[in-house]
Structure 1
Amino acid sequence: MKFRAAGDREFHLRGNSSGADIDGIRLIHVTSVGPGEQIIKDGQFTTRLCDTFNENLTYFFALRPAYKLKGADEKQSLLHYFPFVFVLKIENLPTPYHVYPFDTGGAATGAFDRAASHWLYLDDFELENGIQGCANHIAWAFNDRLDYYEGTLRSDLTTGVPDWKVGIYAYNQIARLAQRGNNQPDLRASSVEIAYKENIPIRGTVELVIVPKNFLEDTRGKNKKIIDLLKKNGIKWQLYDWQPNQRPSDFHVKINQIVKRHLLKVKAL
């Protein structure tokens, strides 16, 4: 999908719902162990230049560990390549720079082109800003947050929608790329993306990290420096079993299960 070069933006998905409950919403940031370790040491998520918007931003998804790590489908021997998940509370976060109904990086590089229209523009899909815009969109497009987590779009999303509102029909097609039963389901296609222009401190925001067990401890000792930093910042952790020479993508199912259990526990779903 490309950006609009001229004319007024149309905002296809705004105004479909309002006043949705924001209580309990969590944001998820997934990276690999290498940069995840640096975030813990820095004490913050540091903005980086985004090629899509040409702005220094840091990115999160609402209520989902949707991600595509570099080299995820190739066997890796080093721990640094495997998933590192952050779960954040929203109470101490600033106002987002933008909110979109899908992964804009994926959209800009053609990941959803098979479901989109060449005559619609990426920036016309921007939602109302703020966590409220995120909550409103989820309430409109999904029966509930649990369906959103699973990628199950409302079956009647386009019922009563005039054919000329092509933006809604295009979103419906794009979002269904995330559903089970799709030939190559991609949760990024319906994961609400939230970006910030500010560095985000981990203290007071991150409540949980999910990491390979061997990153914090193995039979030869504990990673005391990182464990102490997690404790200092009030961050809990959960572990998944890891062995070298596996594909990082092999851990998607396990990580999704861990995140889902946590979100249910804190009544986010």
Structure 2
Amino acid sequence: MHPHDKGKDRLRKFVARSEPAHPKLPLVHSTDAYTFTDALEDGNLEPRDCDVFIGEALIYTFYGRPSYRPNMNESATSLDHYLPVCLILKLSFAQDLKRIFPFDTGAFANDYYSTFMHRRMGLGDFALEADLDTPGRVITTFFGSARNYLHAAPDTKTQFDPAQFEARSYAALIDAKNSNAMDSRGSGIEIQIADPISISNWVEAAVVPSTFVQSETGDALRRLNIEILPYNVHSRMKPNEYMSTVTDACLTYYAQKGML
């Protein structure tokens, strides 16, 4: 057991009482164009050494929303290397899950959420049942609907027992409006996977820079029948400035597929 796995199970039990929200949403994985092209050549998304769960190699996905922002600190560039790519996995995805958290664990480890937590709260206190129904239960408990969750709009009418400390902390976190540290990472449901993910078996669509549509990467995606969702590229923009565009592309795709 990793040290971060130790914790109270109040939130886990509390969330497990709820019925999963519908419709079901896909898992998404964000990376950059350089890393994705290598993965596409290899055929798999491979687990990578983790800075939070040290000693483990993991693949990080999020439920429905591309909450992870690759290359947040990279400067503006005209090169494609660092541009974001978001992979939308099939709803039928059925590999084993390692862990689920209601937020980005990296941001927790960097104390971005400390304003909303008791100083003795640990990451393990927010670990949830590693089951694909769990994200839907989180949505029912805290957001009320999948649409609300996708727009990071919590159900503020819900009242929590004062002794549900973790639930109240999370509810305060996702309702925060006064800090730019509370971006989509604070309310995006994180799903960790410890095994390689076959791109041909499990990736349904890919949000990619428009420069890659007519390229070897685009040709490879078409051969695998992966739908290409391009976004426009502008010179001298920071890679993380594209993330709202990437998110919009995902939501548009869900709407076209009848998930909204």
TM exceeds 0.5?
yes
Q: What is the aligned partner in structure 1 of residue 25 from structure 2?
A: 25
Q: What is the aligned partner in structure 1 of residue 196 from structure 2?
A: 199
SS in structure 1 at match of 2:175: helix
SS in structure 2 at match of 1:111: coil
SS in structure 2 at match of 1:36: helix
Q: What is the aligned partner in structure 1 of residue 166 from structure 2?
A: 167
Alignment of 1:187-266 (within 5 A): 187-217=184-214, 223=215, 225-266=216-257
- Percent sequence identity is 23
SS in structure 2 at match of 1:105: helix
Q: Could you tell which deviates more after superposition, 244-253 or 19-28?
A: 19-28
Distance 1:231 1:4, change over 3 A: closer
Gaps of 5+ in 2: none
Alignment of 1:66-215 (within 5 A): 66-72=67-73, 74-157=75-158, 159=159, 161-177=160-176, 181-184=177-180, 185-215=182-212
Offset of residue 5 of structure 1: 9.3
Offset of residue 77 of structure 1: 2.5
| Contact 1:127 1:134 (C-alpha < 8 Å) held by counterparts | no
Give distance in 2, aligned partners of 1:208 and 1:134: 21
Give distance in 1, aligned partners of 2:144 and 2:5: 35
Q: What is the aligned partner in structure 1 of residue 64 from structure 2?
A: 63
Give distance in 1, aligned partners of 2:5 and 2:82: 38
Offset of residue 261 of structure 1: 0.7
Q: Report the AA paired with residue 50 of structure 1.
A: C
Give distance in 1, aligned partners of 2:252 and 2:19: 27
Question: Aligned pairs, how many?
Answer: 255
Give distance in 2, aligned partners of 1:71 and 1:15: 34
Distance 1:24 1:9, change over 3 A: closer
Normalised to the residue count of structure 2, the TM-score between the two structures is 0.90
Normalised to the residue count of structure 1, the TM-score between the two structures is 0.87
Q: What is the aligned partner in structure 2 of residue 220 from structure 1?
A: none
Q: Could you tell which deviates more after superposition, 48-57 or 11-20?
A: 11-20
| Contact 1:22 1:132 (C-alpha < 8 Å) held by counterparts | no
Distance 1:131 1:254, change over 3 A: same
SS in structure 1 at match of 2:254: helix
Give distance in 2, aligned partners of 1:113 and 1:257: 29
Q: What is the aligned partner in structure 1 of residue 52 from structure 2?
A: 52
Distance 1:18 1:254, change over 3 A: same
